Structure 1
Amino acid sequence: MRIGGNDLTALEPDEVLKHIAVVFQDVYLFDDTIRANIAIARPDATDTEIEEAARAAGIHDFVQALPDGYATCVGEIGSALSGGERQRISIARAFLKDTPIVLLDEPTAALDSTSERVVQAAIDRLVDGKTVVVVAHRLPTVVGADQILVVEDGRVTQCGTHTELLAEPDGRYARMWAAQAAARHWQLPVTAARTEGTHA
């Protein structure tokens, strides 16, 4: 495997990590300010650069509305924020780091549908012009990928674009796509509410 034409095994780990930004499913924030949590990606960043990254991640307006703005403490593990807000701070870190490679590890899996749409929009801005590696179980996340690898029991069992993989109806990808599409339309049956009469 190569990065920028260089054999990965010949590079020091720190050198490799300098070129990769990661957005995880479970975001860990430090019990510090929002500004400090974003700046972890690049400690020498200016306030303007931090705010620009927050704008790109779709979190700036929310932060500005807080009484202490960027000086707001997020609490232990970011407990003062919602999952979507924590995730957008993580994306702001990635914008601030501005690396050519972005690794997304199930970035929307733990979010509700409203937060997922907001975070996905921020991710779409983040990955523009980058090399992106996505780990996902929600298949709509990877529909636009140039190459999709299906991994089963630690082995790659299928490889191709979304269209190519759907053309293999017996393949794991096509079966997962059909199952997830069916689940999106699944609803609990609604039973008529019972009303109890009153007696005089």
Structure 2
Amino acid sequence: MSRYADPQRGTVRIGGVDLAGLDPDKVLKRIAVVFQDVYLFDDTVRANIALARPDATDAEVEEAARAAGIHDFVTTLPDGYATRVGEIGSALSGGERQRISLARAFLKAAPIVLLDEPTAALDSTSETVVQEAIDRLVKGKTVVVVAHRLSTVVGAGQILVVEDGRITQRGTHTDLLTTPDGRYARMWTAQVAARHWQLPVTAARTGGREGTQA
């Protein structure tokens, strides 16, 4: 879709137009990409968000940060938006880096959004915050999501299940759950069950004190 590579067979079309005939820069201007692994430069928070649109004003960068749910966190940093994030964003958590990536996408305001496993590397708390930001980002846009964590695609208009390089199921979340022995329904059941997993905790005495062991 982003023309990092063209298909060896078949075509990718947007609005009926084969992307192979379009200039890659023109394609990328219309697509905002949010990757699973976010790369941030050793620069300020503002510069990393404004990468999507270098001519953006401070107010526009802040508006994008608010939409991505990262503004309040940025205001707690020593230098606010002028705080450097470290090499590859090492000064930030995974959820914070992902929200800066989402702020870039908000600032770009492209009509097509490509989400590549946007919540796969996050804990459940960060996933909830990022998913709320994604829900705001995709309103009124064409969205393509690649995901194994199915909570990311529940609201999609069409879900394609790919197995061994072939599409084996298609439909909405509700449609796919009506086939209980299908791959999608089985994955959904397993992921829902996994949310309730807990390590057993038993009482124990250590050195005369009450304690717990997992």
Q: Normalising by structure 1, what TM-score? A: 0.94
Q: What residue ranges of structure 1 are gaps of 5+ in the alignment? A: none
- For 1:84, the equivalent position in structure 2 comes to 95
Deviations 1:100-130 (A, max 9, x none): 1111111111111111111111111111111
Give RMSD over aligned pairs: 1.5
| 2:183 pairs with 1:172 | yes
- Matched letter for residue 21 of structure 1: A
Q: What residue ranges of structure 2 are gaps of 5+ in the alignment? A: 1-11, 210-214
TM superposition outliers: structure 1 runs of 4+ over 3 Å: 194-198
Deviations 1:133-155 (A, max 9, x none): 11111111111111000011221
Q: Counterpart of 2:160 in 1: which secondary structure?
A: strand
- Equivalent pairs, count: 198
Which of 145, 167, 172 is the matching residue for 1:134?
A: 145
- For 1:3, the equivalent position in structure 2 comes to 14
- For 2:46, the equivalent position in structure 1 comes to 35
- For 2:122, the equivalent position in structure 1 comes to 111
- Matched letter for residue 133 of structure 2: A
| 2:68 pairs with 1:52 | no
Q: Counterpart of 2:203 in 1: which secondary structure?
A: coil
| Percent identity of paired positions between Structure 1 and Structure 2 | 84
- For 2:174, the equivalent position in structure 1 comes to 163
Q: Which structure is richer in relative contact order (CA contacts within 8 A, separation 6 or more)? A: 1
Q: Distance in 2 between matches of 1:12 and 1:121?
A: 33
- Matched letter for residue 154 of structure 1: G
Q: Distance in 2 between matches of 1:53 and 1:166?
A: 36
- Matched letter for residue 70 of structure 2: I
More divergent stretch after superposition (91-100 vs 47-56): 47-56
Q: Distance in 2 between matches of 1:10 and 1:95?
A: 27
Q: Distance in 1 between matches of 2:126 and 2:14?
A: 33
